[in-house]
Amino acid sequence: MSELTVLEAITAAMADSLEADSSVVVLGEDVGVSGGIFRATQGLQQQFGPQRVIDTPLDEKGIVAHAVGMALYGLRPIVEVQFSGFIHDAFEQIMFCASKYRWMTGGEYSCPMVLRAPSYGGIKGGFWHSQSPEAYFTHGGGIKVLTPTTPDDCYRSLLAAVADPDPVLVIEPVPLYRSLRGEVERDGKALEPGTSRTVRAGRDVTVLTWGPQVLRSVEAAEALAADGIDVEVLDLRSLVPLDVDAIVASVQRTGRVLIVHEAARTGGFGAELATLVQEKAFGYLHAPIERVTGHDVPYNFSTGDEYYRPDVLRITAGIKRLTEFEF
């Protein structure tokens, strides 16, 4: 058992995958010699060689297109997209090629590849470098979407993505890369996609969240405990597949739901969660479902990241509105 940062856990997962399976390769801009813009792949090319840790030209669409070809010919590529804001250049290759081969060939071919997407705000990177792209990829089908937060979850989610026979997008929490540490046992055990984690048990309100907002939601819950408000925080960890049973069970216990995410409000995955709760647990609700989200505008250098991202005060206010609501 070692105490690792989120970034170190991600590096460990790639190293363990490269060590365990000779078909695994890593590719992306600067992932080899320099170890990637965040140094997530630092040392891997020196350990496994340039044939397995491959520097590419600056061309996201081309990188993913090459990875699709590699996967179809028996390799298991791990693509680093550097910043999720640039993943849109590769959208066609991800959503119309990688995610569809199993379906267009009647299951004869699959496309086992991993897309690592450093995401979210909090690094003062402006709209190019501070995005939450999960909703785009949950809509089209054929690709799993994992959203780990802790070092251990990041390690095991990446192992799960590498082992998966189909494409997997792993949305990584950039603002926590070096600030969050936790114990990780490098035992090679993968996280089961579609399993959430109850971070904090409670009886009054359920908070559904993922990514860096898990930590802020827990902070809000702890602050409200002094007022006698008992908040349950569910870290979804995986949006496709989704742990529907855990969500419904939590709502049945608390009767109130707050959804917290960094992506913009309109069309965000929170809208899907709200609909799910309405369909599966409407009879248990004591108040309308609330959302605390990013704003319906891009990140902006002049206003700053903290204007955009949900903070503890906004989350706390959302929980209080739920507990004070009366029909």
Catalytic residues: 129
Q: Which residue carries 């069970």 as its tokens?
A: 249
The CB density around residue 19, as the number of other CB atoms within 10 Å, is 12
Burial class (CB in 10 A: 0-12, 13-18, 19+), 138: middle
Question: Whose CA is closest to 234, among 285, 187, 273, 267?
Answer: 273
- Measured between alpha carbons, how far is 130 from 216 in angstroms, rounded to an integer? 18
Instruction: Decide if 153 contacts 237 (C-beta within 8 A).
Output: yes
Q: DSSP alpha helices (H): ranges in 166-243?
A: 213-225
Coil, strand or helix at 322: helix
CA separation, residue 249 to residues 64, 109, 293 (Å): 39, 37, 23
- For residue 174, the cross-strand partners are none
